[in-house]
């Protein structure tokens, strides 16, 4: 069955296929103003409420394909610096675990992929983010994925290493899973370590909480805003779709990162990295 994205996106409320209309311009302007304000913009019920069940069913079908990876990380994803005091944010490590369902589980029958590849969707996100160079990721394991979060897990405080993320809430856990962020806590020329330390110590003064519901689309600029996903509790899994976009066409992930996040690599990762497969066998 061919998927028509028009049946899933709430185009009555968000006419993202109507470029050039006043409604489109207003929507893009609203997104840009939210992003300029605190780096976060949300399109509530972007996916029609009456169709979200189909997306949940799709996630349920592939959830067991999630590759679990665990590591200990500081908020910068950098190495420990033993010469600094233990309380320094660079030295504070938290357990991170995630289960990414690789993109090759989302084939032509996938609603998530149909949305990701729908030209009006790509154009809308590009316009909202006000990016010049904006392409779908060419990585067959990572272009569109689902992050499956189970009981007890979340995503500890961190700054993103990419400029923005584009995510779709598909299902919440029974409890927890709130998205918390401290807007612009650091800047390109000042790490504001003491303010970062305050948030890590539990000071919620600068922290905003966002409760996303199934079907909400979120654009988030996380490079300067410290953020986390609070641990989920209950039997129900939290599902979030992650759409990746990059600045150059044809990009794929490095073999090391791909193996860590997805548990395997494809020939394209090795070719691009100019590494022979036999060199990687460990």
Ligand X SMILES: O=C(O)CCC(=O)C(=O)O
Instruction: Give contact residues for ligand X (rule: CB under 6 A).
Output: 147, 155, 160, 165, 167, 179, 222, 227, 229, 240
Residue 28 token pair: 């893009």
Min separation Cβ 104 and ligand X, Å: 20
Residue number, 24 or 225, with CB nearest to ligand X: 225
- Token pair 């948030």 is found at 199
Min separation Cβ 276 and ligand X, Å: 31
Using DSSP, state whether 142 is helix, strand or coil.
coil
Is residue 196 within 8 A of residue 226, CB to CB? The reply is: yes
Residue number, 104 or 180, with CB nearest to ligand X: 180
| Spatial distance between the Cα atoms of 188 and 236, rounded to a whole number of angstroms | 39
Note whether 222 binds Fe ion by CB under 5 A.
Answer: yes
| Spatial distance between the Cα atoms of 195 and 197, rounded to a whole number of angstroms | 5
E strands in 135-273: 135-136, 144-149, 155-158, 165-171, 175-176, 179-182, 208-210, 217-220, 226-229, 232-233, 238-243, 245-246
Q: Per-residue contact track with Fe ion, 149 to 168, x per CB under 5 A?
A: -----------x--------
Q: Per CB under 5 A, which of residues 112..151 are in contact with Fe ion?
A: none
Applying CB under 5 A, the site for Fe ion has a residue count of: 2
Residue 179 binds which of Fe ion, ligand X, none (CB < 5-8 A, kind-dependent): ligand X
Min separation Cβ 173 and ligand X, Å: 11
Q: Which spans of this chain sit near Fe ion (rule: CB under 5 A)? A: 160, 222
């Amino acid at each position: 069955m061919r998927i028509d994205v028009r049946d899933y996106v709430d185009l009555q409320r968000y006419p993202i296929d109507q470029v050039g209309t006043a409604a489109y311009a207003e929507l893009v302007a609203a997104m840009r103003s939210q992003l300029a304000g605190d780096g976060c913009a949300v399109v509530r019920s972007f996916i029609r409420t009456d169709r979200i069940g189909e997306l949940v069913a799709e996630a349920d079908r592939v959830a067991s394909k999630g590759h679990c990876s665990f590591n200990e990380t500081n908020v910068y994803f950098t190495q420990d610096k033993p010469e600094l005091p233990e309380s320094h944010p660079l030295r504070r490590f938290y357990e991170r675990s995630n289960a990414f369902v690789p993109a090759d589980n989302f084939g032509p029958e996938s609603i998530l992929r149909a949305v990701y590849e729908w030209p009006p969707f790509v154009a809308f996100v590009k316009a909202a983010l006000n990016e010049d160079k904006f392409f779908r990721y060419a990585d067959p394991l990572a272009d569109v994925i689902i992050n499956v979060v189970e009981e007890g897990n979340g995503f500890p405080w961190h700054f993103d290493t990419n400029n923005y993320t584009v995510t779709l809430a598909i299902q919440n856990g029974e409890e927890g899973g709130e998205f918390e962020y401290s807007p612009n806590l650091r800047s390109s020329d000042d790490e504001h370590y003491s303010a970062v330390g305050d948030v890590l110590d539990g000071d919620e003064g600068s922290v905003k909480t966002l409760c996303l519901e199934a079907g909400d689309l979120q654009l988030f600029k996380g490079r300067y805003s410290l953020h986390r996903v609070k641990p989920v509790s209950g039997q129900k899994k939290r599902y979030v779709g992650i759409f990746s976009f990059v600045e150059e066409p044809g990009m794929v992930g490095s073999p090391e990162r791909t193996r860590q996040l997805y548990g395997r690599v494809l020939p394209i990762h090795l070719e691009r990295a100019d590494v022979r497969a036999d060199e990687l066998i460990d």
